Structure 1
């Protein structure tokens, strides 16, 4: 296995080079880390090469070079597959920080399986959008083995502005779902506020600038407000279709904890409508389009004689 190439900096492997994974990998390269990465999509591997990283042909090849791994995966099936491939390498002592928003039970299942092969899995979901990932404006909610988390500190610092050690494995996902419940609400409320101001005759861009700097501001207004104003939701940093998965996880935790959440419940039809309107591949800022269309008068139907 390769030794560290930069003073006291581990070589990092990134498995999953989508919106979040590619941004993390690029920022780690900028921070001076040697980065090896894999994604089944050739274009994603090429993007890593352009950023200065090393593109690998398999999960196993990444693990041959790096003991400190970041997993950024789209589904439970993907996590199961990657963990199976890590176990098949026969390598010991790997630390893998799983950064995706996936069911806690899936992460726990793979943690147990990897432990039998002396591979440590951490539950470390991220707070932030793809756009925030590009500028290192992410927070890591790290949970699991404390020693392994300490070993990952420098890596987290290479792509995130903050790290919070939140305790036992699984607490990371629970904290992420708390954060995402607020994101769901703040995103829709930002769209409501901008639309009301625009219909009242205010300039939408000015609304975002002024309100974001006051008591009514939120990170979603700062991050997604400009996308709503510019109608640039085709450049997705969080696709509506992907967000539906997160919404389902939040709903499951609400039910499991018997938590009333009327504001969250009120946002669900808006995101469902975005899907129905063809915004599945667009950013969740497209909820603005949903609300805007609700203001349009429906055509009158002719009375039957």
Structure 2
């Protein structure tokens, strides 16, 4: 019998997890503070819950995808939280990008109730999540992770067990460090080409076929070509949280990250220009302004 899956956080990522798990015929129960996200789950054939505790009561395994430390703490250990279910044998697949110390604290609290928290950050954008084109960096209790194998395959095409609890987050920080740089580098290349008189669509098609290509260029450059960032696969304000987490991680290790630091200034310029709800590809617009460009 397949495990019953609960999802807390049904936004861009969690909503795609739910859709793909439903497509694989999993029973999915979900909770979100936004009614529109709940309605979307119901339209897929999923069921709803009244709180994170209610999700835990109705599920064998819970997936959490949350935007902030406050949301994470509320879901894990707050009022009507997963902790309050006090459910022995429950497994929580925690997919958010957050400081390791926050996850470790929740891991320890939940362990006292018999719940196993796995640290399982996701590598991929919202667009990739919709197509199940994701990698999961699984860390923590190995036996619990093995029980979740079919669930991992239900919402991602790759999963890697990377060892002790917290290693998943460390791997995610390294991966997002590269995403951060590749996105700005893609925008910089597009602006350089356009400033030189090349058509943006031509730049995309030619670079995509050569050694300068990257997965991020393929995903984000089409938005840069159209100068349209409204349908965000990763919003600037959410990415701001990731930048802070990665910056603090590098600082704690006393590891130099000069390219990451330079890129951060570009993202912050976009946030200062009220681009917070746009896709992170909108850094291209920031660089165009810096270059004195104005598209027709």
Superposition TM-score, scaled by structure 2 size: 0.95
Match of 1:60 in 2: 53
Q: Flag the structure with larger Rg.
A: 1
Helix, strand or coil at the partner of 1:107: helix
Q: Match for residue 121 of structure 1?
A: 117
Is 1:77 aligned to 2:73, yes or no? no
How far, CA to CA, are the matches of 2:70 and 2:258 in structure 1? 32
Q: Which residue of 1 aligns with 2:241?
A: 245
1:108 maps onto 2:104 in alignment: yes
CA distance in 2, matches of 1:92, 1:57: 21
Instruction: Specify which of 260, 276, 295 is matched with residue 291 of structure 2.
Output: 295
Q: For residue 257 of structure 1, what is the aligned residue in structure 2?
A: 253
Distance between the aligned counterparts of 1:81 and 1:277, measured in 2?
31
The separation in 1 between residues aligned to 2:164 and 2:88, in whole angstroms, is 22
- 1:9 deviation in Å? 2.1
Name structure 2 gaps, 5 residues minimum.
Answer: none
- Tell whether the 8 Å contact from 2:118 to 2:165 is kept in structure 1 after alignment: yes
Structure 1 residue 41: deviation in Å?
Answer: 1.2
SS in 1 for 2:265: helix
Quote the offset at 1:209 in angstroms: 2.2
Moved over 3 A (4+): none
For residues 143-202 of structure 1, the C-alpha deviation after alignment (integer angstroms, 9 at most, x for no partner) is 000001101111010010100111110001110000111111100000011111122222
Q: Are 2:20 and 1:24 aligned?
A: no
Structure 2 SS opposite 1:163: strand
Aligned pairs (5 A) from 1:103-252: 103-252=99-248
Match of 1:36 among 29, 37, 40: 29
Inter-partner Cα distance in structure 2 for 1:86 and 1:260: 38
The question of whether the paired residues in 1 share the 8 Å contact of 2:91 and 2:118 is answered with yes
Shift of 1:60: 2.1
Query: Corresponding residue for 1:3?
Result: none
After superposition, what is the alpha-carbon deviation per residue over 1:111-131, rounded to whole angstroms, capped at 9, x for unaligned?
Answer: 000000000000000000111
User: Structure 1 stretch 221-230 or stretch 202-211: which is displaced more?
Assistant: 202-211
Residues 223 and 229 in structure 2, CA contact (< 8 A), matched pair in contact too? yes
Q: Provide structure 1 residue ranges, at least 5 long, that are not aligned to the other structure.
A: 1-7, 298-305
**What's the Cα RMSD here?**
1.1
Q: How many Å separate the matches in 2 of 1:19 and 1:220?
A: 18
> What CA distance in whole angstroms lies between the structure 2 residues aligned with 1:170 and 1:155?
20
Q: What secondary structure sits across from 1:40 in the alignment?
A: coil
